[in-house]
């Protein structure tokens, strides 16, 4: 009996290994036809005056070649008994098509979800809580950034620059940007024009007040995955078909 149980356990283990290997092969096969796929997270953090974190907002973005699906959040503030609670809720999932310069909004991340809104991509900021990651107009650096010492974070080298964006008050605040120069995540660079001159990607910037060494806010791109699951590809496939089925007037 023990011998039979041993044989069964070996068989089940072999089956598990076979299925796991098959799953990995399928995942590799699914992603091999796309040269630029993955998932990132845009992390916005706000700090108290003493440097501790007040709250953070996480926005997930799936991408496949010229398409991306952005989780659009709404930040909610509730004050009770002098204490403020900050929460975040998902408003929509937004498909952005850079080829046709159009966007499509869906209420859920599903291949059967229905379009609730569609329009041409704005050249600058979104009118709601969306992220115009493709735009060169949203964030522009004023003057010439000041080069700082390079730094290494998690075995990745970053160039650092002190700068201000065009609408910043130079007498009140400044920012420090972190630039990664291996081309990873290039289309999501938090600033475009100076990044292109450097041939690097701004992955993060931290804002400081001139009279306080503690940060006030930061914005950062985090890489979550270099591939998509079969279900995530199904969503892209379905929504890509909808672009052709329901074209936006004025799109390319």
Lowest mean per-residue pLDDT among 3-7, 67-71, 127-131, 233-237: 3-7
Which segment of 76-80, 96-100, 170-174, 228-232 scores lowest on mean pLDDT? 76-80
Kindly state the average pLDDT of the residues 213-235: 96
Work out whether the CA dihedral 193, 194, 199, 202 comes out positive or negative: negative
Average pLDDT over residues 146-169: 94
| 3-state SS, residue 130 | coil
Q: Backbone phi, then psi, for 19, in 5-degree steps?
A: -65, -40
Task: Give the pLDDT band of residue 168 (cuts 50, 70, 90).
Answer: confident
Average per-residue pLDDT for the chain: 85
Each domain of the chain, given as residue ranges in start order, spans 1-32, 33-245
Q: pTM for the whole thing?
A: 0.81
Nearest to 135 by CA among 54, 222, 195, 216: 195
Confidence check: pLDDT of 138 > 90: no
Q: Is it the case that residue 8 has pLDDT exceeding 50? A: no
In Å, the largest CA–CA distance within the chain is 81
Residue 237 has pLDDT above 70, yes or no: yes
CB 71 within 8 A of CB 59: yes
- Backbone torsions φ then ψ of 171, nearest 5 degrees: -85, -10
Which candidate, 59, 65, 42, 39, places its Cα nearest to that of 227? 39
Residues 37, 67: Cα–Cα separation, whole Å: 9
pLDDT value at residue 5: 45
Strand partners for 36: none
Quote the tokens at residue 188.
Answer: 């999501």
pLDDT band at 160 (very low <50, low <70, confident <90, very high): very high
pLDDT at position 126: 80
Residue 82, token pair as written in the block: 């002098």
157: enclosing H helix or E strand: strand 156-163
Distance in angstroms (rounded) separating the CA atoms of residues 5 and 43: 50
pLDDT at 85 over 60: yes
Q: Is 169 helix (H, G, I), strand (E, B) or coil?
A: coil
Of 15-19, 185-189, 196-200, minimum mean pLDDT range? 15-19
By the 8 A CB rule, do 232 and 62 touch? yes
Neighbours of 226 (CB within 10 A): 11
Residue with tokens 């209420």: 107
With beta carbons less than 8 A apart as the criterion, state whether 180 and 201 touch: yes
Short-list 71, 162, 166, 180, CA closest to 124: 166
The pLDDT value given to residue 102: 96
CB 161 within 8 A of CB 176: yes
What is the pLDDT, as a whole number, of residue 15? Answer: 42
- Spatial contact of 204 and 192, defined as CB atoms under 8 Å apart: no
Q: What is the pLDDT of residues 93-130, one digit of tens each?
A: 999 999 999 999 999 999 999 999 999 998 877 878 88
């Amino acid at each position: 009996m023990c011998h039979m149980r041993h044989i069964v356990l070996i068989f089940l283990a072999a089956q598990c290994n076979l299925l796991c290997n098959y799953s990995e092969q399928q995942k590799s096969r699914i992603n091999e036809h796309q040269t630029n796929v993955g998932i990132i997270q845009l992390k916005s953090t706000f700090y108290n005056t003493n440097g501790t974190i007040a709250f953070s907002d996480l926005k997930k973005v799936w991408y496949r070649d010229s398409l991306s699906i952005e989780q659009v959040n709404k930040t909610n503030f509730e004050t009770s008994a002098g204490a403020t609670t900050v929460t975040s809720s998902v408003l929509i999932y937004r498909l952005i098509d850079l080829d046709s310069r159009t966007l499509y909004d869906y209420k859920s991340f599903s291949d059967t979800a229905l379009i609730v809104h569609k329009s041409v991509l704005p050249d600058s900021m979104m009118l709601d809580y969306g992220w115009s990651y493709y735009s060169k107009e949203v964030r522009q650096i004023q003057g010439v950034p000041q080069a700082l010492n390079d730094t290494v974070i998690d075995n990745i080298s970053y160039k650092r620059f002190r700068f201000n964006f065009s609408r910043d008050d130079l007498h009140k605040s400044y920012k420090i940007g972190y630039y990664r120069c291996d081309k990873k995540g290039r289309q999501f660079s938090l600033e475009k024009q100076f990044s292109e001159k450097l041939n690097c990607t701004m992955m993060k910037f931290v804002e400081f007040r001139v009279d306080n060494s503690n940060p006030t806010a930061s914005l950062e791109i985090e890489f979550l995955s270099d591939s998509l699951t079969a279900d995530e590809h199904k969503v892209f496939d379905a929504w890509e078909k909808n672009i052709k089925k329901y074209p936006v007037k004025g799109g390319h």
